[in-house]
Amino acid sequence: VATLKQVAEAAGVSVKTVSRVINHEPEVAANTRQHILEVIEELNYRPNTRARALVSGKAGAVAVVNPAAGEAHLNLFFDSVLRGIAEVLSAHKLDLLLYLSRGDDSPYCELFLQKRVDGLILMNMPFDDPNLLGLTESNAPCVHTCYLAENDNTRYVVDADHAGGIVMSVNHLAALGHRDIAILPGPDNLIAVRLRMEGYRRALAQHGLPVRDELIRHLEFYSGDVRQIVVDLMQLEQQPTAFLCGVDLMAINVMNILRDLGYRVPDDISVLGFNDVVVSQYVSPALTTIRQDGHRKGVTAATMLIDLMSGSLDGAPQQVTLDVELIQRSSTGQRNKV
Amino acid sequence: VATLKQVAEAAGVSVKTVSRVINHEPEVAANTRQHILEVIEELNYRPNTRARALVSGKAGAVAVVNPAAGEAHLNLFFDSVLRGIAEVLSAHKLDLLLYLSRGDDSPYCELFLQKRVDGLILMNMPFDDPNLLGLTESNAPCVHTCYLAENDNTRYVVDADHAGGIVMSVNHLAALGHRDIAILPGPDNLIAVRLRMEGYRRALAQHGLPVRDELIRHLEFYSGDVRQIVVDLMQLEQQPTAFLCGVDLMAINVMNILRDLGYRVPDDISVLGFNDVVVSQYVSPALTTIRQDGHRKGVTAATMLIDLMSGSLDGAPQQVTLDVELIQRSSTGQRNKV
DNA sequence: CTGAAAGCGCTAACAT
DNA sequence: ATGTTAGCGCTTTCAG
């Protein structure tokens, strides 16, 4: 592979002149420039990114850290978020370094210290991750996404409006006459789940409906015993007429269980999901659910990070909450006495 | 941030001695080493990866190129494949550069020429992609995955055994007495689909069953008019008693359509999917399907690339076909006369 | 408009 | 066992 020096020699000029041509600096004679361009073409020269990085002191890359990649429930949007991030970075000529390690052997805060990246986007990062401290100490620019600590205004964060999604769901059901709305929001240790519960309580209050604790069932998204929960709920004296589920797949599962138990969806019971995964439109009845825009989340987070790196964000950390959307399909309907 | 030189000065030794300590070279006196380590700790020194890369001539990174990221049907395993790749690269201290651009503005072959990576893994790369030529010319080590050209033994390739998966499906159905097996393999322009058709023909032949062209329906995985196709097929004089679908979501869709038309699955008709996505176990009836191991695909491709980069693979390009597995659930059963 | 020299932070030869 | 010197390929002063 040719180097700047070789190009300079072949063209009979100094390295600096070649450098000027590559970097589109104006003060070069037109014919000199032309000649140099030809030599570059001929030698198939390409600037060496590593050398540039060394001189500039910038890595020219951003890390996307996601220790939970591979855990299905956290990664339904991983693709689309990544694509959003990639588009923005690409437009800014930044490389995207994907960092999925869980191990403590090479913690992600090293990425910045070792000049491998200029900033980080942290996805699904546990609130109390031990490496987070080192990251803060290193002063690395970083933005969190798919994570939102309650009342944590000390970090830059982008996430979907989990609470708002549930509020929309409850409003939708209330408008259909439902009053006894069960919720299976997911495991209690997730912040997103706690935010949704906040939305649930708030929305019920707005409609003057009581919060009935027996209708709130925390369980793992995928490993929980959904059937037992559904059976329990339907044996209550005052049965629920609608189910809010933490993820679409759980909602699909609930619909099947209800059918097994002899209930019709949505005639007897309404069911709502969260996330709007692809399959939700193909099941029968098609699932009413809350859609998050993963692509937009990625774009927003990456844009924020770039602003942060460029120093144009000197104020206090920002927390951005992205709107979600109710996708109304066929799994919800007018309340009927069961 | 501290540099080698600063550490050397602070410790009262030469840079080379510090360098020796960092690189765990043996010929350093124990007490000198100890002292230097303390200074490193104190100054919070970290080696600058860019400078090392410049000296060594290696980028210390591998690109994963996936221009199709975001297109659902091609990316059901994207997460798990990525995780497999990431694990292997991490163990070899290589960074993972994710490259999702489609644009021709900065083609992926530049990644190698500009020393941003030492090798590439290409996912879902169209057979006739225009940039592929430049890549070949650049002599960059590269491995393809999620792509398999028929009879192309000029590249390094890792992919699932699409043909074998369909053979297993047909064997399973034949054992249940099915003879009229419809197939909706997906769009004809995909190599994976053509390989599946090859498996279909081969398996039918083995069982002495005729290939009936009217039972073969190519259509897009997600945008095709599945309902019309199913209706058409069920109006044939000699109806199919089983459906092989190109992806699980199509199979789920087909099951719903059949139910709408008054058929029972699997009592009247059997349905099989391909891929085993998470939801397939939650639908009712749970879907019988073919499982690919995405993680293993990633591990295999990354390992092959690393071997290739290290020069230990001097022979002819290798094509690795990964085994798939039949996951038998409840959507397939004994043939019954409809 | 163009060039010479210095240096980014590190490693690799060769001393000592 | 430790130090000196010379680069890796590029950009950036500062002179012509």
Is there a contact between B61 and B96 (Cβ–Cβ < 8 Å)?
A: yes
Cβ contacts (< 8 Å) between B252 and chain A: which residues?
Answer: 279, 282-283
Q: Quick one: pLDDT at residue B336?
A: 84
How many Å does it take to go from CA A54 to C1' D1? 31
Instruction: Report the protein residue whose CA lies nearest the C1' of nucleotide C13.
Output: B16
Nearest to A282 among B83, B115, B252 (CB): B252
* Residues in CB range of B124: below 8 A, 6 or more apart: B66, B67, B68, B74, B75, B146, B147
Position B105 scores a pLDDT of 67
pLDDT band at A216 (very low <50, low <70, confident <90, very high): very high
| Two tokens, residue A157 | 């964060």
Sheet strands side by side (includes A119-123) = A319-322, A156-160, A142-145, A119-123, A61-65, A95-99, B95-99, B61-65, B119-123, B142-145, B157-160, B319-322
Instruction: Assign 3-class secondary structure to chain B.
Output: CCCHHHHHHHHCCCHHHHHHHHCCCCCCCHHHHHHHHHHHHHHCCCCCHHHHHHHHCCCCEEEEECCCCCCHHHCCCHHHHHHHHHHHHHHCCCEEEEECCCCCCCCCHHHHHCCCCCEEEEECCCCCCCHHHHHHHHCCCEEEECCCCCCCCCCCEEEECHHHHHHHHHHHHHHCCCCCEEEECCCCCCHHHHHHHHHHHHHHHHCCCCCCHHHECCCCCCCCCHHHHHHHHHCCCCCCCEEEECCHHHHHHHHHHHHHCCCCCCCCCEEECCECCHHHHCCCCCCEEEECCHHHHHHHHHHHHHHHHCCCCCCCCCEEEECCEEECCCCCCCCCCC
The pLDDT value recorded for residue B251 is 96
Q: Of A167-181, B74-88, B157-171, B211-225, which range is least confident? A: B74-88
Cβ-based contacts under 8 A for chains A and B: 141
CA at A12, C1' at D12: how many angstroms apart? 21
Alpha-carbon gap, residue B242 to A208, rounded angstroms:
52
pLDDT of residue B86: 95
The nucleotide lying nearest A52 (C-alpha to C1') is D10
Among all protein residues, pick the one whose CA is nearest to the C1' atom of C2: A17
Q: What is the arithmetic mean of pLDDT over A34-56?
A: 93
Has residue B172 got a pLDDT over 90? yes
**pLDDT score recorded for residue A170:** 98
More confident residue, B192 or B235: B235
Query: Counting every residue, how long is chain A?
Result: 338
E strand or H helix that includes residue A330 = none
Q: How confident is the model over A80-93, as pLDDT tens digits?
A: 899 999 999 999 99
For residue A196, the one-letter residue type is R
Choose among B75, B53, B93, B58: nearest CA to B302: B93
pLDDT at position B50 over 70 = yes
Average pLDDT, chain A: 91
The protein residue nearest nucleotide D3, judged by CA to C1', is B14
Nucleic strand D within 7 A of Cβ A228: no
Which pLDDT score is estimated for B124? 83
Which residues on A lie below 8 Å from B69 (Cβ)?
A: 79, 82-83, 86
What's the pLDDT score for residue B153? 81
Whole-number Å distance, CA B40 to C1' D4? 22
Which position has the token pair 């080379």?
B16
Cis peptide before A285 (omega within 30 of 0): yes
Q: How are beta strands A142-145 and A289-291 bridged, if at all?
A: unpaired
Average pLDDT over residues A303-310: 96
Q: Nearest CA of chain B to the CA of A148: how many Å?
A: 22
Measuring from the CA of residue B29 to each C1', which nucleotide is nearest? D1
Q: What part of A 136-195 touches B (C-beta under 8 Å)?
A: none
Q: CA angle, B63 as apex, A134 and A46 as ends, to 5°?
A: 105
User: Of the candidates A98, A283, A295, which has its C-beta nearest B98's C-beta?
Assistant: A98
* Strand D contacts in B 4-33 (CB under 7 A): 12-17, 20, 27-29, 32-33
DSSP E strand boundaries for chain A: 61-65, 95-99, 119-123, 142-145, 156-160, 181-184, 242-245, 270-272, 289-291, 319-322, 325-327
User: pLDDT at residue A148 above 80?
Assistant: no
pLDDT at residue B264 is higher than 70: yes
> Both tokens of residue B299?
């591990």
User: Distance from A184 to chain B by nearest Cα, in Å?
Assistant: 16
Mutation for B interface: A283, A289, A296, most B CBs within 10 A:
A283
Chain A residues touching B282 at Cβ < 8 A: 249, 252-253, 256
What residues pair up with A288 in beta bridges, in sequence order? A272
Q: Round and report the angstrom distance from CA (B40) to C1' (D7).
A: 25
Contacts of B265 in chain A (CB under 8 A): none
Pairwise CB contact (< 8 Å): A70 & B48: no
Contacts of A256 in chain B (CB under 8 A): 282-284
* The residue type at B237: E
Q: Which of residues 102-131 of B touch A (CB under 8 A)?
A: 103, 106, 110, 113-116
* CA separation for the pair A161, B143 (Å, rounded): 40
Q: How far is the CA of B14 from the C1' of D4 (A)?
A: 9
Q: Quick one: which of A37, A53, A35 has its CA closest to A45?
A: A37
Report how far apart the first and last C-alpha atoms of chain B are (Å, whole number). 76
Residue numbers in B near A50 (CB within 8 A): 50, 53-54, 59, 115-116
Global pTM value: 0.91
Beta bridge partners of A65: A99, A122
Model confidence pLDDT, tens digit, residues A260-305: 999 999 999 999 999 998 889 989 999 999 999 999 999 999 999 9
Task: For helices A15-22 and A30-43, give the axis angle rounded to 10 degrees.
Answer: 90
Weakest mean pLDDT among A71-80, A144-153, A213-222, B305-314: A71-80
CA-based nearest residue to B62, from B102, B107, B122: B122
Mean pLDDT of B320-338: 92
Q: Are B141 and B308 in contact (CB under 8 A)?
A: yes
> Which of helix, strand or coil describes residue A156?
strand
Nearest to B97 among A97, A282, A284 (CB): A97
Give the residue, B322 or B153, on which the prediction is more confident. Answer: B322
The 10s digit of each residue's pLDDT in B279-300 is: 899 899 999 999 999 999 999 9
What is the tens place of the pLDDT at every residue in B89-121? 999 999 999 999 876 667 899 999 999 999 999
Identify the bridge partners of residue A62 per DSSP, sorted by sequence position: A96, A119
Q: Tens digits of per-residue pLDDT, B8-26?
A: 999 999 999 999 999 998 8
User: What is residue A322's three-state secondary structure?
Assistant: strand
